[in-house]
A and B are shown apart, each in its own frame.
Chain A
Amino acid sequence: MNEKHISSQFDADLRGISALVLEMGGLAESQTAQAMYALTNFSVETADQVLVLEDRVNAMEVEIDLELQRIIAMRQPTAGDLRLLIAVTKASANLERVGDEAARIARTVRRLVTTGVSSRMRLPVSELVYGADLAIAQLRRALDSFARMDAEQAVEVLKHDDQIDREFDGLLRKLITYMMEDPRTISSCIDLVFVAKAIERIGDHGKNLAEAVIYVVKGTDVRHTSVAEVENVVR
């Protein structure tokens, strides 16, 4: 996929749209990291920055899809080029959803702070940090694999997906214990459950991106197959 088309403009188009995906990925990663910072520090200011980024991420999804349509109409891409463009459309959809999840976290932070909840009680937000770091690492690994079209690195993302699911389950148990110990925290702990779910979803979107990379490189759709089967495909 590194070799040039006869049409240098076609090459430029494909490089351009891949760059847009990576830029969008960077924004989504940033949003997530900032949302977690906002949560652990109860910072409304940072939460607002996340919501500003949200607009940019949404605009990029529209821009990427428009460019995609143009390339498909003008170039009638086939084989690897076509698979790349299909992966681009999946990437932009998944990254936009990452943005949505990060925005959800930010809005929760705003609510917890502006209603005074966060100053009235001790909320176990630090329990969520480890899971969030895992999810952000997954996203970064997936975006790296997209940048380099590296199927092996993409498989690593799939292998780590279970870890995030287990972390979420553990978090749920901790929050239930918290709620049982102090029923006054129930309402805000439920908010935190939704935050934990958002983090888990971000990890899932990273996984979807990795599956798209394997599709581009190997020509095989590995969605809904086991990790062992995917490793066979990539080997």
Chain B
Amino acid sequence: MNSLQASISGLQVALPAASKTSASTEPSGPVKLSATDVKVRYGSNEALHGVTVDIRCNEVVAFIGPSGCGKSTFLRCFNRMNDTVPSARVTGAIMLDGKDIYDPGVDVVLLRAQVGMVFQKPNPFPKSIFENVAYGPRLHGLASTRGQLDEIVESSLRRAGLWNEVKDRLDAPGTGLSGGQQQRLCIARAIAVSPDVILMDEPCSALDPIATGIIEELISELKANYTIIIVTHNMQQAARVAQRTAFFHLGNLVEVGPTTQIFMNPKQKQTEDYVTGRYG
């Protein structure tokens, strides 16, 4: 055997095992929120027609779809914000950690601390930065000393990526911050009451691209500790931040799946039409 043959026979080639693409893997964590056949009527008009979907722990799920498709209506079911709309009627079951949130024994105020919400237009309280964040914990009795409250405020502002920008002016009014900073203040406010879930209804629509980028980066970090549902009309945002995406159309959940699948090879033609811009 010549030296070439010898070196070839001695060569061990390790081939990489074929790996499943991330597009084909389904999330595997425990279910945090589940919706079963949820319908919402406003008066005589049914806006949401029987939606069933599970949201798993520590995932970011995006709800996308054209205006009026029911995504925000559905989002508001998870913390019973639809209760504040007199004509709204919600049927079906929504479970948080296996417990029905519409059970008569549920404390809605507590629910809304556990399932926090951030809105499209930043809406800080007309209070100082400190008070914006401290208000919730104080109300819920989460701190018994000023020191504990300080800690909660600092940790929430740090988690929201705002601490370094405001630590020297905590007494300044929250409304004096820029749009992007105000939105992060609202996120800090939501975080301060130790939620499990954060609902975000088009949180970046009113922000410039840089502020948007900062918030998207924040969402990626937050998912380690929270479960996040984000309604967005910016499809590329869904592609950037969400592990799974749900497409709504005219009150129906048309398709839900891994974000890569929704954007690379959606199963439903309606979904394909929407994500490629053929809608209409």
Contact = CB atoms under 8 A, between A and B. Distances in A.
Q: Say if A and B assemble together.
A: yes
Interface of A: 3-7, 10, 76-83, 219
Given A7-B277, A79-B266, A79-B275, 14 more contacts: A4-B278, A5-B278, A6-B278, A10-B277, A77-B276, A78-B235, A78-B239, A78-B263, A78-B276, A79-B276, A80-B272, A80-B276, A82-B263, A219-B264
A79 B279 contact: no
B37 interface: no
Sort chain B's interface into a size bin: 10 to 19
A78 B275 CA distance: 7
A6 B280 contact: yes
B276 A81 contact: yes
B279 A78 contact: no
Pick the most buried of B235, B272, B273: most chain A CB atoms within 10 A of its CB: B272
Interface in B238-280: 239, 263-266, 272-273, 275-280
A76 B276 CA distance: 9
Given A79-B272, A80-B272, A6 B279 contact: yes
A212 B19 CA distance: 22
Contacts of B273: 3
B236 interface: yes
27 contacts: A3-B273, A3-B278, A4-B278, A5-B276, A5-B277, A5-B278, A6-B278, A6-B280, A7-B277, A10-B277, A76-B236, A77-B276, A78-B235, A78-B239, A78-B275, A78-B276, A79-B263, A79-B264, A79-B265, A79-B266, A79-B272, A79-B276, A80-B272, A82-B263, A82-B264, A83-B265, A219-B264
Nearest to B275: A78
The 6 nearest A-B residue pairs measured at CB: A219-B265, A78-B263, A78-B275, A5-B277, A79-B272, A81-B276
Contacts of B276: 5, 77-81
A5 B276 CA distance: 7
Contacts of A77: 276
Nearest to A11: B278
A83 B279 CA distance: 19
A5 B280 CA distance: 8
Contacts of B236: 76
B111 to A, nearest CB: 36
A5 B275 CA distance: 10
Nearest to A218: B265
A93 to B, nearest CB: 21
Nearest to A220: B265
A185 B39 CA distance: 83
Nearest to B265: A219
Pick the most buried of B264, B276, B280: most chain A CB atoms within 10 A of its CB: B276
B277 A6 contact: yes
